[in-house]
Amino acid sequence: MVTILFYLFAGLAIGGAIGVVMAKSPVGSLLFMVTTLAAMAATFVLLEAHFLAAIQIIVYAGAIMVLFLFVIMLLNLGHDYQRDLKGGAFAVLSFAIVGAISGLLAQRLGAAGSSDITAGGVAIDAAIAEHGAIGAIAQPLYTTYVVPFEITGILLLVAIVGALVLAKKEV
């Protein structure tokens, strides 16, 4: 049953991702992205990563998508929208590039073997036993990866300021 649900949610995520790229309106693209994020959260639940599933829904599908919708509405992209790239060759090229990258990733993951996965699982189990589930995520996030975490926050702030500057009307 879990395998069937996994394939169902994986297909939904892939379909939603294709819908993000192929949607004609920005709001439609945003709704497809919410579908993709919800399918990924369901996949996290199947993998028994409930904390990541909750974060996926609360942070990404909730807060970030509301922010994107706000920016779309602020920039008024839903009216008189003209595509920058004319379909056809660009879509085929982009799908070919994504397919090649996916193939390379699948080959790399297949070459990793199960011993690497088991060794990683033992380290994760030890971290959870020592710090708890949330502490096992927070410990490396706020020690080892604090700089990329802060850079991501600054990048989001710059994106918001940039959207406001673009939307500001001259008086």
**DSSP assignment of 52-119, as one string?**
HHHHIIIIIIIIIHHHHHHHHHHHTTTSS---SS-TTHHHHHHHHHHHHHHHHHHHHHHHHHHHHHHH
Averaged pLDDT for residues 111-135: 67
**Domain-embedded: residue 66:** yes
- pLDDT bracket for residue 87 (50, 70, 90): low
pLDDT at 117 over 60: no
Residue 98 lies in a domain: no
Phi, psi of 83 (to 5 degrees): -70, 140
Last residue of one domain, picked from the residues 63, 82, 101: 82
Domain boundary among 19, 50, 82: 82
89 occurs within a structural domain: no
Sign of the CA dihedral 136, 147, 58, 101?
negative
pLDDT value at 152 more than 80: yes
CATH number at residue 39: 1.20.120.1200
Number of structural domains in the chain: 2
Same domain, 141 and 78: no
Joined tokens for residue 19 = 């819908």
The answer to the question of residue 57 being in a domain is yes
- Domain span holding position 31: 1-82
CB 45 within 8 A of CB 53: yes
| Residues 5 and 67 occupy one common structural domain | yes
- What pLDDT is recorded for position 101? 76
pLDDT grade for 3, boundaries at 50, 70 and 90: confident
At 23 the three-state DSSP class reads coil
What pLDDT does residue 116 have? 47
68 and 2 within one domain: yes
What pLDDT is attached to residue 124?
Answer: 74
Work out the average pLDDT over 156-169. 76
The residue with greater pLDDT, 116 or 166, is: 166
With 0-12 / 13-18 / 19 or more C-beta atoms within 10 angstroms meaning exposed / middle / buried, residue 69 is middle
Does residue 125 surpass a pLDDT of 50? yes
pTM summary value: 0.52
Inside any domain, residue 56? yes
Residues 71 and 11 in one domain: yes
